[in-house]
């Protein structure tokens, strides 16, 4: 029997026991864990899922979540973005906890951060400068403005790199922010309780996998119901046609019977008239 020699429990220091700071948030180490809440996790998962769908036909485009970006530039911090879109990746299926820009010879063209209430300032201030210096073409920020009373008022902040400097992206008249690197629109919902993504070509709402599957199932069920209704209507029409045919047959039979009866009556009249003439002749 092997007995493990462990230090007393109060002497064990786990990675998540370390007090994390904003500096750690901007340049995390492996094992750092930031408690950001359920809503943040849901928004990140939704954005990551949608962007993976947007690029699913591009085999060498990598869409990451919570992967540390190592720029390879002295003095430039290396955050782990909530979502990053990286084109021209040689081995996109290789597992990574960090992405080394110089070694991979490519860099993110799009980064999205979902603001955590506890770490809002790094996302909306410090990372703007970091991603600008790193040469990220677009930086989008989704901020729920989540308050202690759990009230949310979503907003979007977006930047585009122009001549080496970030310029704010101006929304269109519908309040949508266009990402040219993804060919999609980002917007908040009318009640500001969430965000949506719209295809830049078709103008169709892009749903996450789960919602897309549910919508497909709902549409399939609608088609099934419509097909069932059409079948019932066809059966009803067939029944009505059969009833009409039977009624027509009955009317024809009745007409034929009436015609036969008339013909027989006419023959009887003729016979009676002949018999009457014969009797008169004998008289």
Q: What is the C-alpha to C-alpha distance for residues 220 and 116, in angstroms, rounded to an integer?
A: 38
Prediction pTM value: 0.70
Residue 91: predicted pLDDT: 94
Model pLDDT for residues 122-172, shown as the tens digit of each residue: 889 999 999 999 999 999 999 998 776 667 899 999 999 999 999 999 999
Interhelix angle 38-54/209-282, nearest 10 degrees: 70
> Residue 86: which residues within 8 A CB-CB, separation 6 or more?
61, 62, 63, 64, 99, 104, 106, 107, 108, 109
Strand order in the sheet with 205-206: 177-179, 184-188, 195-199, 205-206
Distances (CA, A) of 73 to 15, 20, 43, 83, 103: 26, 24, 30, 21, 12
Mean pLDDT is lowest, of 50-64, 91-105, 228-242, for 228-242
- Residue 3 pLDDT class (50, 70, 90 cuts): very low
Q: What is the C-alpha to C-alpha distance for residues 186 and 228, in angstroms, rounded to an integer?
A: 39
Model pLDDT for residues 74-90, shown as the tens digit of each residue: 999 999 999 999 999 99
Average pLDDT on 262-278 reads 77
User: Residue 44, SS3?
Assistant: helix
Average pLDDT on 212-220 reads 52
User: Does the pLDDT of residue 5 top 60, yes or no?
Assistant: no
* Per-chain mean pLDDT for the chain: 84
User: Does the pLDDT of residue 99 top 80, yes or no?
Assistant: yes
Residue 75: predicted pLDDT: 93
Tokens read off for 218: 């709902």
> Quick one: how far is CA 31 from the chain centroid?
32
Residue 228: predicted pLDDT: 63
Give 122's DSSP letter: I
């Amino acid at each position: 029997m092997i007995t493990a020699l462990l230090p007393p429990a109060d002497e064990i220091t786990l990675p998540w026991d370390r007090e994390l700071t904003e500096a750690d948030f901007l340049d995390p180490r492996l094992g750092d864990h930031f408690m950001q809440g359920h809503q943040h996790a849901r928004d990140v998962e939704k954005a990551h899922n949608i962007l993976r769908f947007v690029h699913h036909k591009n085999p060498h485009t990598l869409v990451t979540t919570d992967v540390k970006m190592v720029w390879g530039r002295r003095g430039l911090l290396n955050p782990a973005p909530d979502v990053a879109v990286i084109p021209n990746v040689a081995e996109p299926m290789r597992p990574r906890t960090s992405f080394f820009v110089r070694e991979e010879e490519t860099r993110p063209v799009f980064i999205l951060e979902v603001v955590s209430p506890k770490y809002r300032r790094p996302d909306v201030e410090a990372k703007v400068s970091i991603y600008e210096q790193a040469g990220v073409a677009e930086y989008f920020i989704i901020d729920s403005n989540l308050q202690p009373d759990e009230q949310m008022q979503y907003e979007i902040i977006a930047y585009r790199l122009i001549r080496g400097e970030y310029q704010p992206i101006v929304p269109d008249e519908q309040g949508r922010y266009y990402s040219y690197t993804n060919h999609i629109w980002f917007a908040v919902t009318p009640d500001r309780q969430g965000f949506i993504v719209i295809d830049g070509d078709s103008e169709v709402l892009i749903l996450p996998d789960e919602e897309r599957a549910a919508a497909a199932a709902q549409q399939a069920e609608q088609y099934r119901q419509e097909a069932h209704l059409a079948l019932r209507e066809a059966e009803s029409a067939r029944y009505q046609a059969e009833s009409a045919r039977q009624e027509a047959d009955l009317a024809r039979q009745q007409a034929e019977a009436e015609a036969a009866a008339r013909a027989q009556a006419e023959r009887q009249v003729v016979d009676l008239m002949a018999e009457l003439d014969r009797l008169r002749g004998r008289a």
